[in-house]
Structure 1
């Protein structure tokens, strides 16, 4: 399976989780990750542990985390996290902000299991994710090794999603490109007018030479 473990939490309080059993210490490491993520900050971040990647999405105080093989890439795990977050909030609403630990586990662990299987094995999932990736800005998510972070005991350095900055840069680039196109267009218009005027002057000078004067007397007669 591409996705091996998943949980939903409020802060460090786990509300529901499901494991495929391939990674024995996934639950323990996931709790260490939850405890070190600053509260109140929305984020999309990934951390590595051996050949496994811990992907985290925190939005409005609810954290969704999954563990995937590094071969799964980033697109499928983060699409899974967005799907799970939307389903969880839609199902429980404001209750998820006050529920006790594992308060939704009996019901929602089955949904975690179903969606893990879908995103891991159904080819339609990747097809849908590829379409989403073409429609939405691709998130740049960097990876930091969990072992190094936990060994030094420091606060995890969150690698925050760069989407907002990328969108702002794209908007500025489009405005600059539009100004550049307008500038080039006006410059071409002015150049065309100048060439037409120059051509008219050349024609007049040639006629004046052929007609023996600037008033073109011989030609007018």
Structure 2
């Protein structure tokens, strides 16, 4: 039972100096019989509990991150849909104002032609005394 706990502890806390000192003192070969005082076992059990809690926190953070990524993906899809709708509406408005501009130019050209006709034709007709 203790050997299994030590192997797990060694795997997760191999860079902890106090644990490696205890392991080198009491655990030399897998088949050896060894003794650990209750205080040292409690210390090791506390470290295992700390590592377990850190792992649980990491799992919770991973789940939360996944949820946040899903929410972000939904928002990105909505933004993409809104941008496509905006582009379509902008194109329709552009066409509307382009035709409005064309109509204005046609009207302006007609008015200029009428003014030119009045300015040129009326004096000619007046000089021939037809008016």
Structure 2 length-normalised TM = 0.49
More helix by share: 2
Structure 1 length-normalised TM = 0.31
- Which structure has more relative contact order (CA 8 Å, sep 6+)? It is 1
Bigger Rg, structure 1 or 2 = 2
